[in-house]
């Protein structure tokens, strides 16, 4: 009976609870406005909701956790550390939006203080030596910043740094200020160059805040928390020894070290006379300069690896007659090589080779050609005695305009062979027909083809050289010169009526006035030059090399008498170094000459030609050592 009463009571109680109305929960937040300090942080809010909901933010620096739920929940609003946005905004704002399943929304306004502009560095003062090997020629600076910046360089007087001897590495990572802790750290690398000056030098690295578009921000000083500068001090160049001979030996060792010569065998403990590739002046030498005995006359630097110009110690070798710099590793891929000013101090230089170094059209300084003598208050030619210049196997797209008799009055030998950056056999298959684009990518003196002075005559051969009577060697082998080869008529037109013609009494003399060719002695009984006009072009030329270019068209004794009856044609070995072309030109013309005689002994086999052969004209001349005699002569 008691159990029955308990069951009745429990049933009645459950009936009462079942009939009680359910409490209604409204969609609401306990806060709609939150404030945060610059360093960020976390705050909590309570969400009341009868059903599901989801949270969103309109800025990346605010996070809601959890970002969705069902029913009432406590949520965290997490705010990243701040960043300065502009000079005027001392706060930044964002909004958190909570949306329920009925599309109702509630907003929370979030306001955060900004930091002042902060760019700090771990090292404000950096000292570097005047020289290190290229791979070690850099330093690193750790920068902490809450704003993007660009890097500038000033000198000691706070003017823009004139010489870019210190520069930011191209491989530096950009400062990222997206979601996450701020200020951010970034490590920056700075590269530096060898100091060739007699004094210490100073550069200041400055950081200028910029906006997201890269525009510099005009700062309100009140908003600047910290703005560091890095001062870089580089020690002066090693002083030049006062004893000229000691200066020479120091220069040779320093140059070899700076160029990273692969097999440098010179030893400071042995006399320079014993060094390979070095020749010293002797008192008995005819051209020995005053007090020059025992100093460097000739030096050769071979097989090296550098991305720098010529070391400043080159300028100490002021007694040198010949210097050779040959074969820089990966020379075809070197860019922006500047040879520097110091080589231009060697006004007595007679022979200079800078080959396979990576030179291009912008490698020579202005005073490579002429300089201003402050003592005499006059402009002078830099290399008035230079006779030999070899700048082959580089990256030139054209022959520098100032390589001319005006600036090199004594030059006899010019070598600019093999300036191809890439080998393209058929130029008609090149990926571009734009001359500038092709030349910049492939070199090969290609822009000579578009030089108006040359293109007027449909040739890539440098017409201006026809005015250079002093040359005895011109080598332009293995380039991308194309077009036809200049005829007698074209040369006469170019020289505008000033062309001279060979006569049977001409005499060619060397620089000292000694006879090197007498036409009367060479011609025997020939009256050819009194009966024919043969342009007197390159009168001293013994080696003209244009082979393995892309020339084409007619080349015959009738149209090119200047070449086929040149006194030294046989010395030029024309079948190897002139007539021999390869590939196709940009217009798909096969690179070969038509009209070439079978040999220099026989010009009569050519169609419509009754001209005497080369050796019929020059009956008594000194023949080339490479000549194969005609069988009838034996």
- Give me the chain's average pLDDT, please: 88
Kindly write down the DSSP assignment for every residue of 541-561, as one continuous string: -SEEE-TTSEE-EE--TTT-H
User: CA 412, 415, 417: angle at the middle one, nearest 5?
Assistant: 160
Residue 632 resides in a domain: no
Do 65 and 104 lie in a common domain?
yes
Residues 391 and 355 sit within 8 Å (Cβ to Cβ): yes
Residue 627 resides in a domain: no
Do 83 and 146 lie in a common domain?
no
pLDDT tens profile 595-618: 899 889 888 776 556 788 999 898
Residues 248 and 188 sit within 8 Å (Cβ to Cβ): no
Asked whether residue 629 carries a pLDDT value surpassing 80, the answer given is: no
pLDDT tens profile 299-326: 999 999 888 899 999 999 999 999 999 9
Asked whether residue 15 carries a pLDDT value surpassing 90, the answer given is: no
Residue 193: C-alpha distances to residues 152, 161, 170, 362 (Å): 17, 14, 15, 19
Asked whether residue 155 carries a pLDDT value surpassing 50, the answer given is: yes
Do 139 and 87 lie in a common domain?
no
Residues 117 and 147 sit within 8 Å (Cβ to Cβ): yes
Do 512 and 611 lie in a common domain?
yes
Residues of the chain above pLDDT 90, percent: 63
pLDDT tens profile 51-101: 999 999 999 989 999 999 998 889 999 998 876 654 456 788 999 999 998
Q: Which domain holds residue 200?
A: 117-234
pLDDT tens profile 402-432: 999 999 999 999 999 999 999 999 998 888 8
Binned at pLDDT 50, 70 and 90, residue 20 comes out as very low
Mean pLDDT across 4-25? 51
Position with higher pLDDT, 180 vs 507:
507
pLDDT tens profile 529-552: 988 999 999 999 999 999 999 999
Residue 20 resides in a domain: no
Asked whether residue 10 carries a pLDDT value surpassing 70, the answer given is: no
Do 131 and 108 lie in a common domain?
no
Asked whether residue 590 carries a pLDDT value surpassing 60, the answer given is: yes
From CA 466, how far away is CA 447, in angstroms rounded? 18
Do 442 and 551 lie in a common domain?
yes
Do 413 and 383 lie in a common domain?
yes
Residue 18 resides in a domain: no
Binned at pLDDT 50, 70 and 90, residue 9 comes out as very low
Do 84 and 121 lie in a common domain?
no
Do 592 and 470 lie in a common domain?
yes
Asked whether residue 17 carries a pLDDT value surpassing 60, the answer given is: no
Do 385 and 493 lie in a common domain?
yes
Among the residue ranges 252-261, 352-361, 458-467, the one predicted with the least confidence is: 252-261
| pLDDT (0 to 100) of residue 87 | 45
**Last residue of some domain: 48, 78, 113?**
113
Binned at pLDDT 50, 70 and 90, residue 174 comes out as confident
Backbone angles phi, psi at 314, to 5 degrees: -55, -35
**Last residue of some domain: 90, 113, 136?**
113
pLDDT tens profile 122-137: 999 999 999 888 789 9
Residue 279 resides in a domain: yes
Binned at pLDDT 50, 70 and 90, residue 180 comes out as low
pLDDT tens profile 245-272: 999 999 999 999 889 898 778 988 889 9
Q: How many domains does the chain have?
A: 3
CATH number at residue 163: 2.60.40.10
Residue 633 resides in a domain: no
User: CA 361, 363, 366: angle at the middle one, nearest 5?
Assistant: 95
Position with higher pLDDT, 480 vs 626:
480
From CA 162, how far away is CA 165, in angstroms rounded? 9
Binned at pLDDT 50, 70 and 90, residue 4 comes out as very low
């Amino acid at each position: 009976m008691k159990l029955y009463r308990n069951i009745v009571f429990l049933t009645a109680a459950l009936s009462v609870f079942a009939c009680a109305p359910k409490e209604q929960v409204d969609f609401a937040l306990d806060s709609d406005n939150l404030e945060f300090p610059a360093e960020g942080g976390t705050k909590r809010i309570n969400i009341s909701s009868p059903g599901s909901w989801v949270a969103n933010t309109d800025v990346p620096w605010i996070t809601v956790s959890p970002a969705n739920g069902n029913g009432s929940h406590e949520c965290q609003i997490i705010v990243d550390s701040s960043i300065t946005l502009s000079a005027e905004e001392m706060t930044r704002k964002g909004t958190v939006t909570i949306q329920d399943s009925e599309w109702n929304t509630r907003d929370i306004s979030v306001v955060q203080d900004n930091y002042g502009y902060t760019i700090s560095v771990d090292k404000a003062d950096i000292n570097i030596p005047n020289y290190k090997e290229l791979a070690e020629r850099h330093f690193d600076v750790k920068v902490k910043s809450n704003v993007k910046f660009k890097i500038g360089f000033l000198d000691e007087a706070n003017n823009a740094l004139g010489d870019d001897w210190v520069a930011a590495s191209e491989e530096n990572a950009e400062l990222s200020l997206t979601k996450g802790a701020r200020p951010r750290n970034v490590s920056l690398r700075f590269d530096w160059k060898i100091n060739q000056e007699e004094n210490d030098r100073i550069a200041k690295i400055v950081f200028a805040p910029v906006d997201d578009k890269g525009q510099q921000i005009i700062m309100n000083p009140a908003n600047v928390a910290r703005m560091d500068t890095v001062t870089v001090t580089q020690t002066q160049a090693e002083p030049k020894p006062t004893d000229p001979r000691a200066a020479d030996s120091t220069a040779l060792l320093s140059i070899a070290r700076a160029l990273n010569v692969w097999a440098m065998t010179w030893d400071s403990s042995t006399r320079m006379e014993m060094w390979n590739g070095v020749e010293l002046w002797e008192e008995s030498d005819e051209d020995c300069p005053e007090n020059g005995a025992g100093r460097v006359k000739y030096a050769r630097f071979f097989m090296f690896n550098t991305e720098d110009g010529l070391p400043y110690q080159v300028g100490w070798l002021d007694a040198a007659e010949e210097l050779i710099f040959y074969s820089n590793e990966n020379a075809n891929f070197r860019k922006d090589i500047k040879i520097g000013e110091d080589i231009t101090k060697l006004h007595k230089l007679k022979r200079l080779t800078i080959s396979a170094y990576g030179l291009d059209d912008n490698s020579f300084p202005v005073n490579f050609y002429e300089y201003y003598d402050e003592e005499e208050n006059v402009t002078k030619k830099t290399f008035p005695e230079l006779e030999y210049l070899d700048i082959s196997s580089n990256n030139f797209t054209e022959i520098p305009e100032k390589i001319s008799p005006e600036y090199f009055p004594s030059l006899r030998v010019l070598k600019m062979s093999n300036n191809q950056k890439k080998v393209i056999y058929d130029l008609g298959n090149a990926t571009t027909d734009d001359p500038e684009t092709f030349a910049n990518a492939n070199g090969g003196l290609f822009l000579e083809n578009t030089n108006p002075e040359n293109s007027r005559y449909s040739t890539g051969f440098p017409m201006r050289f026809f005015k250079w009577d002093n040359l005895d060697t011109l080598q332009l082998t293995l380039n991308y010169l194309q077009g036809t080869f200049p005829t007698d008529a074209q040369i006469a037109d170019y020289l505008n009526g000033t062309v001279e013609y060979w006569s049977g009494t001409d005499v060619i003399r060397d620089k000292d006035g000694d006879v090197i060719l007498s036409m009367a002695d060479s011609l025997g009984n020939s009256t050819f030059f009194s009966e024919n006009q043969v342009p007197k072009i390159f009168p001293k030329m013994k080696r003209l090399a244009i082979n393995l270019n892309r020339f084409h068209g007619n080349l015959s004794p009738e149209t090119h008498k200047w070449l086929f009856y040149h006194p030294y044609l046989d010395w030029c070995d024309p079948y190897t170094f002139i007539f021999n072309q390869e590939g196709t030109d940009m217009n798909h013309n096969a690179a070969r000459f038509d009209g070439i005689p079978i040999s220099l002994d026989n010009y009569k086999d050519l169609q419509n030609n009754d001209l005497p052969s080369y050796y019929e004209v020059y009956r008594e001349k000194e023949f080339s050592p490479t000549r194969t005699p005609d069988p009838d002569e034996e």
